[in-house]
Amino acid sequence: MNWREASVLITGGTGSFGNKFVEIMLERFHPRRLVVFSRDELKQSEMMARFKDPSLRFFVGDVRDKERLERAMHGIDVVIHAAALKQIPSCEYNPFEAILTNVIGVKNVIDAAIDQGVSRVMAISTDKAVNPINLYGATKLCAEKLAVQGNAYGHARSTIFSVVRYGNVIGSRGSVIPLFVEQKRTGTVTVTDPAMTRFWIRLEDGVAFAVRCTELMRGGEIFVPKIPSMRIVDLVEAVAPGCRVDVIGIRPGEKLHEILISEDESRQAVEFDDMFVVEPIYPSWPFQIWEGGKRAGAAFRYSSDTNDRWLSASEMQDLARG
């Protein structure tokens, strides 16, 4: 696809992902029009001051409001759907709000995109959506299912939907890294379980992966990058070296290890050099299977504790600085 000729809209455009997406789009791809859709007018005004580009537009709106989405998507070719409530404790305490934004919001994006003739919609997901044990993960699982199945309605009208799913983002708001940096001042860092592992990806790499997959998408697949894991104790050593570690016990809704592809998805997973593509189960729309990759096969599991790529403390320090 030719980004220079495309009108692009990003929901949740004032968040960490949205800011980096706008930066990369304006620096490297130069779309004809780039629309930031979000609820926060203050953050939008800050972005206006930061990015002075004639192609950039701002829409104050909420993904819960389908009519506003339809207005914003008029004339749009590509939608990147990044809007979500993602704080696990907040979603547990406010479950109705999480569902309205993370589930109903996705339905609204799908309906508005089809009705407005958008060509491609890429939804941003998370490893928390795989075998979820908290409400945030459950809403993102629902969002993935809705996006994939949206092709049953959109494909005939030339609107296709796909998903990008990856792990924790280095440098994003709400990450554990800023917490450890803040705790470093006290000399003590709290860890829920020293055996814990997580997938990690740089914010810039996550955005670049989403852009690339938007170019590759056929409609209905879930794209999963091959990214490194890290033990939480090594993360502490990277960002708060020399601090005392206080083990406080695993929190409700928190996993010891995260999974990016479960055994139940393994039959649909195709492995390539730097990513996996999880194909839809029994698509009811014309779907072209992915050739040239290796079928993962039954019982495959892409988990943070059995990964073959691991970050050392020094590597994480370099990534965090970069």
Please, what sign has the CA dihedral across residues 48, 29, 61, 167?
negative
Q: What is the 3-state secondary structure (H, E, C) of 190-252?
A: EECCCCCEEEEEEHHHHHHHHHHHHHHCCCCCEEEECCCEEEHHHHHHHHCCCCEEEECCCCC
Q: Do residues 292 and 318 lie in contact, with contact meaning Cβ atoms separated by under 8 Å?
A: no
Indicate if 128 belongs to the active site. yes
Catalytic residue among 86, 128, 140, 255: 128
Q: Cβ contacts of residue 36 below 8 Å, gap of 6+?
A: 10, 13, 14, 18, 22, 44, 47, 56, 57, 58, 59
Instruction: Write out the catalytic residue numbers.
Output: 128
